[in-house]
Amino acid sequence: MQPAQTNINTVPKIDQTKQTRHLPNKRKAGRLIVSYFFLTLAAVVMIVPFLWSLSTALKGKNEAIFSFPPNFIPENITLENFMTVWNTLPIPLYLWNSIILAFWGVILPLLFCSLAAFPLARMNFKGKNTVFLVILATMMIPGEVTMIPIYLILEKLGLIDSFAGVILPGAVSAFGIFLMRQAFLGIPKEIDESAIIDGARPWQIWWYILIPMVKPMLATLAILSFIGSWNNFLWPLLVLQDPNAYPLTVGLYDLKGTFVTDTRLVSAGAIIALIPILVVFMMFQNYFIKGAYSSAVKG
C-alpha cells in the first residue's frame, strides 16, 4: 500500500540501539489509570440496555417492570422466566437448527469472500474496477424491494422450505468481500512478488501467506457473520414452512402474542439467544493478537 509506506518512512528514524521495552514506571501507571477510566466510563454507557434486559428477565411475576425511574435490581431474583421459556418452547431443537444455520452462515462467507477479495485487492486485471463497483452497488439497494425477487429465485431453484434456501442468499455478502478486500490492501505488495519469484502459485500465496496475515479481520467477519446468521429472522421465517425447522430467533417470536406479551419472558428469551453470541465473540477474539505481524515482515 503506497501511501502507508511513504508515511511510515516519514516517522522519525528508529534508533534500534535504544531500549524500547521499558517506559518509566510512573508514566506507565498514569497511563493505565487514564486508560481504565475511559474504558470503564464507556463500558457503563454501553452495558445499560443489556443490564436492563437481564434484570427484567430475573424479575418475578409480581414485580413491576416499567417503573419510572427504572429499577435495575430485582427485589427477588428468580429463574422462573427462564424455566417458563424452556418449558413452553422446544429450545434445544431451535438451538440446534440455529447452530447448523450459523455454521454454514460463517464458513461460507469466510471462504467465498476472502477468495473473491484476493484478486480485487492484489491483482490487476481488466474489469477489476467495474466488478468492485458492481459489488459495492448491490449493497445500496434496500432489501425491501429485492425481497420478492430473491424469494422467487429460491423457489425456481427448489430451495423453499430447506436450510439451503436460508443459507445460500447470505453465503456471500458484498459487505464481506469489501471488508476482506480492504484487509488485503493493507499488506505490502512486495510480499506477493517475492513469493511468485520463489515459484508459489496464486492459491498458495492466498492460503499460506495472505490469509494468516488477515486473521484479525477474518475473525471480525466471522463474528459479524455469526451474529447475522444467528439473528436472521425474516428469511428463515419466509423460507421455512415447518416450525420444527425454525431457528431460535424465529422460535422465540412465539413469546409475543396478540393479546399478552410478557416482557419478562421475552427478555429471558433474548438472554438465552444472546449467550451463544457472547461465547462466539470471546472465542474469535483470540485471533486478535497484539501486533499480529511485526515490522520484520516489512523487510
Partner 1 sequence: MKKLKRLSILLLVFSLLLVTACSNKESASGDGEGTKKKDVEIKFWTIALSPTFDDYINGLIDQFEKENPGVTVVWEDLPFDTVEQKTLTAAASGKLADVMNLNTDYLKKLAAVGAVMDLTKKAADVKDDYFDGVWDAGNLGDKTYALPWYVTTGGMLYNKELLEKAGFNHPPATEKEAWEMTEVLYDKLGVYGSVPNEIHKYLPQNGVEIVSKDLKKAAINTPEALKIFKEFKARFDKGLIPKELLLGQAKTNEWYAQGKVAWWLTGPQLFRQVKDLSPEVYEKSDAAPAMGGSSGFLHMAIMNIAVSAKTKSPEEAVKFAKFVTNAESQLAFSKIVAILPSVKEAAADEYFTQGENSDDPAEKGKFYAAKQLEIGKNIFPPVENISEINKAVNEEFQKVLLENKDPQKALDDAEKRINDLLK
Partner 2 sequence: MYKARHAWSFLLPAGILLTTFTLLPALAALGISFTNYNVFQPVEWVGLDNFKTAFQDEEFWSALRNTFYFWVLVTPALVVLPVFLAILVNQNLRAIKLYRLIYYFPALVSVVITAILWNWLFASDGIFNYLLSLVGVNPVDWLTSRKFVMPSLAMVTIWQGLGYYMLFYLAGLQSVPTDLYEAAELDGANFWQKHRHITFPMLKPIIFFTAVISTMSAFKEFTLMLTMTEGGPIGASKTVVYMVFEKAFKELEMGYASAISFILFIIILILTLLNKRTLDQET
Q: Which residues bind partner 1 (CB under 8 A)?
A: 61-68, 88-89, 100, 103-104, 107, 147-148, 151-152, 155, 160-164, 234, 237-238, 241-242, 244-245, 250, 253-254, 256-264
Is 33 a binding residue for partner 2 by CB under 8 A? The answer is no
Length, in residues, of the chain = 299
- Bridge partners (DSSP) of residue 256 are 261
211 belongs to the binding site for partner 2 (CB under 8 A): no
Residue with cell 425447522: 245
Q: How far is it, in rounded angstroms, from Cα 109 to Cα 224?
A: 10
First to last CA, the chain: 14
Q: Which window, 81-89, 96-104, 137-145, 240-248, contacts partner 2 (CB under 8 A)? A: 137-145
Nearest-angstrom CA–CA distance, 155 and 7: 53
**Closest separation between CB of residue 286 and partner 1, Å?**
14
State how far the Cα of 196 lies from the Cα of 198, in Å rounded to an integer.
Answer: 5
Contact at 8 Å (CB) between 135 and 258? no
Interacting residues with partner 2 between 40 and 59 (CB under 8 A): 42-43, 45-50, 52-53
Give me the 226-265 binding string for partner 2, x by CB under 8 A, dash otherwise.
-x--------------------------------------
Stretch that binds partner 2, among 38-46, 74-82, 93-101, 236-244 (CB under 8 A): 38-46
Of 127, 103, 96, the closest CA to residue 229 belongs to: 103
Query: Which 3 state secondary structure label does DSSP give 145?
Result: helix
280 binds, among partner 1, partner 2, none (CB under 5 to 8 A by kind): none
Residue 245: which of 82, 95, 102, 87 has the closest Cα?
A: 95
Question: Is residue 17 a contact point for partner 2 (CB under 8 A)?
Answer: no
- Give the residue, chosen from 58, 91, 106, 120, that forms a contact with partner 2 under the rule CB under 8 A: 120
Per the CB < 8 A criterion, the answer to whether 275 and 196 are in contact is: no
Counting contacts by CB under 8 A, is residue 25 touching partner 2?
no
- The alpha helices in 58-140, defined as continuous H runs, are 80-88, 91-122, 128-138
Q: Which is nearer to partner 2, 99 or 244 (CB)?
A: 99
* Footprint (CB under 8 A) of partner 2, residues 60-119: 68-70, 111-113, 115-116, 118-119
From partner 2, partner 1, none, interface partner of 236 (C-beta below 5 to 8 A by class): none
70 binds, among partner 1, partner 2, none (CB under 5 to 8 A by kind): partner 2
CA 177, CA 181: separation in Å to the nearest integer? 6
Nearest to 131 by CA among 141, 140, 143, 119: 119
- Cβ closest to partner 1, residue 60 vs residue 186: 60
Please give the distance of CA 263 from its chain centroid, rounded to a whole number: 27
- How many residues sit close enough to partner 2 to count as binding (CB under 8 A)? 112
Letters for 273-292 (x = contact with partner 2 by CB under 8 A, - = none) are -x--xx--xx--x--xxxxx
Query: Nearer to partner 2 by C-beta: 99 or 174?
Result: 174
Q: Are 88 and 151 in contact (CB under 8 A)?
A: no
